[in-house]
């Protein structure tokens, strides 16, 4: 009952007009210092998790329009500027990729397409693709980007930041930060210790209705704390549960072998170069082109052009024999008539 009352009070306060709660106060030195500490520590964690190799499972339960459960296996690795992400509903990969994949070798990006045996080659990916995924799913990186984007408005009094010690809906007394942006969206975050990791958060829409609720279990990996389990609940405007996600780390390592950032192509695979708008097929020129574009991404011997040349040679010989046979037929008929 206490938990429900707590949430109800938060929602009701957010739905009050500005005249009822007073003019938004400007962000003071204490709030600004707390925000700077939060952003600095979250960014430091994201940078410290490099290299990293993590496998985790995402169980999604859709409640609307009818219950449906989907289990997805996800994998992410990062080493310097290189990164790899992989997703499948069949299980974790064992050798050949059987799901959706993106690999960036530091220069070029290769990813699967909607067509079988066709890959897409492009330049560098967006910087957000290089982020540790569980920091994004727990809401930490989203909080940082939201604050940085809206900080000029917050400093001008168009919004508010409240920092205090408060009991979370789980009943623990923890550090709490409530951020109301200039667009009237509000995020309430509770930390496990002094601005270390977010363990519970709620996101509200501009009209004050609860959008999502996230609960996080934190673990340590070689001196770096990270979100080990993330439970996300998504709500409709009427308060009913729309869907939920449960993400759990299966394995976590602070290292990543170079083999994760290469792709083994078969002779029947093709690559579409988005920048040159060309389809690279299985020929000697294609292999040379791929090595020129991204020498570290595709290992030598992945493409075998000799099979194509053998097929083309056999086709050419067959055509020559057919032409000679066709040209000799009229002459035999003429001699028979004489």
DSSP string over 276-293? TTEEE-SSHHHHHHHHHH
Is residue 54 exposed (0-12), middle (13-18) or buried (19+ Cβ within 10 Å)? Answer: buried
| Contact indicator for 44, 197 with CB cutoff of 8 Å | no
pLDDT of residue 265: 83
Looking at the domain assignment, is residue 128 inside a domain?
Answer: yes
Bond into 48 cis (ω within 30): no
Q: Which residues pair with 120 in a beta bridge?
A: 111, 272
Domain, as residue range, for 116: 2-253
Q: Are 263 and 111 in contact (CB under 8 A)?
A: no
- Residue at 294 is within a domain: no
Residues 206 and 311 in one domain: no
Over its length of 338 residues, how does the chain's per-residue pLDDT go in tens digits?
A: 333 333 333 333 333 333 333 344 557 888 989 999 999 999 999 999 999 999 999 999 999 888 999 999 999 999 999 999 999 988 887 655 578 999 999 889 999 998 888 999 998 766 667 899 999 999 999 999 999 999 898 888 888 999 998 888 878 888 999 999 888 888 999 988 778 899 999 999 999 999 999 999 999 999 999 999 999 999 999 999 999 999 999 999 999 999 999 888 877 888 999 888 888 765 555 566 666 766 666 555 555 555 566 667 788 888 878 877 777 765 544 444 44
For the full predicted model, state whether its pTM sits above 0.85: no
Query: How far apart are the two ends of the chain, measured CA to CA in Å?
Result: 112
Q: Please check whether residue 284 lies inside any domain of the structure.
A: no
Amino acid 254: pLDDT = 96
In the numeric block, the tokens 């708008």 are attached to 277
Q: Select from 220, 253, 286 the last residue of a domain.
A: 253
Nearest CA to 15 out of 221, 180, 157 is that of 180
In a shared domain, residues 327 and 196 = no
Task: Supply the pLDDT for residue 305.
Answer: 56
Based on the structure, what is the number of domains in the chain? 2
Residue holding tokens 């540790």? 132
Give domain status of residue 45, yes or no: yes
Of 245, 197, 193, which is closest to residue 217 (Cα–Cα)? 197
Q: Is residue 290 part of a domain?
A: no
Instruction: Say what the pLDDT of residue 99 is.
Output: 86
Is position 261 within any domain? no
**The domain spanning residue 44 has which CATH number?**
2.50.20
In this predicted structure, what is the pLDDT of residue 333?
47
**Please, are residues 242 and 234 in contact by the beta-carbon 8 Å criterion?**
yes
Same-domain status, 319 and 199? no
Cα–Cα distance, 276 to 290 (Å, whole number): 12
> Of 196, 144, 202, 147, which is closest to residue 174 (Cα–Cα)?
196
Does residue 259 lie in a domain region? Answer: no
- Say which residue the tokens 């007009």 belong to: 17
Kindly state whether residues 27 and 137 are assigned to the same domain.
yes
Task: Answer yes or no: is 287 within a domain.
Answer: no
Distances (CA, A) of 100 to 62, 324, 331: 22, 51, 61
Please tell me whether residues 309 and 165 are part of one structural domain. no
Do residues 43 and 128 share a domain? yes
Is residue 249 domain-shared with residue 330, that is, in the same domain?
no
**Helix (H/G/I), strand (E/B), else coil: 56:** strand
> Do 207 and 325 have their domain in common?
no
Point out the domain boundary residue: 235, 253, 271: 253
């Amino acid at each position: 009952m206490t938990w429900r009352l707590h949430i109800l009070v938060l929602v009701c306060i957010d739905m009050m007009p500005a005249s009822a709660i007073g003019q938004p106060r400007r962000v003071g030195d204490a709030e600004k210092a707390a925000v700077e500490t939060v952003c600095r520590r979250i960014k430091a964690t994201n940078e410290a998790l490099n290299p990293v190799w993590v496998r985790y499972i995402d169980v999604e339960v859709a409640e609307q329009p009818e219950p449906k459960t989907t289990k997805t296996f996800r994998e992410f690795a990062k080493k310097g500027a290189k990164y790899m992400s992989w997703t499948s509903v069949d299980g974790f990969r064992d050798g050949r990729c059987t799901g959706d994949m993106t690999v960036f070798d530091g220069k070029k990006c290769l990813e699967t397409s909607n067509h079988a045996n066709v890959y897409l080659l492009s330049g560098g990916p967006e910087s957000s693709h290089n982020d540790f995924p569980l920091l994004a799913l727990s809401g930490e990186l989203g909080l940082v980007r939201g604050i940085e984007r809206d900080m000029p408005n917050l400093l001008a009094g168009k919004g508010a930041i409240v920092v205090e010690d408060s009991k979370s809906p789980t009943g623990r007394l923890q550090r709490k930060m409530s951020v109301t942006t200039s667009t009237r969206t509000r995020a309430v975050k509770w930390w496990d210790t002094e601005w270390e990791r977010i363990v519970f958060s709620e996101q509200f829409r501009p009209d004050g209705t609860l959008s999502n609720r996230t609960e996080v279990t934190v673990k340590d990996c070689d001196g770096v704390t990270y979100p080990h389990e993330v439970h996300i609940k998504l709500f409709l405007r009427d308060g009913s549960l729309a869907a939920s996600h449960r993400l759990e780390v299966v394995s976590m390592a602070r290292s990543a072998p170079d083999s994760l950032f290469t792709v083994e192509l078969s002779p029947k695979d093709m690559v579409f170069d988005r920048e040159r708008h060309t389809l690279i097929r299985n020929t000697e020129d294609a292999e040379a082109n791929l090595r020129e574009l991204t020498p570290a991404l595709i290992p030598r011997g992945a493409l075998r052009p000799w099979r194509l040349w053998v097929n083309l040679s056999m086709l050419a010989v067959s055509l020559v024999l057919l032409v000679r046979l066709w040209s000799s037929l009229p002459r035999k008929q003429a001699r028979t008539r004489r």
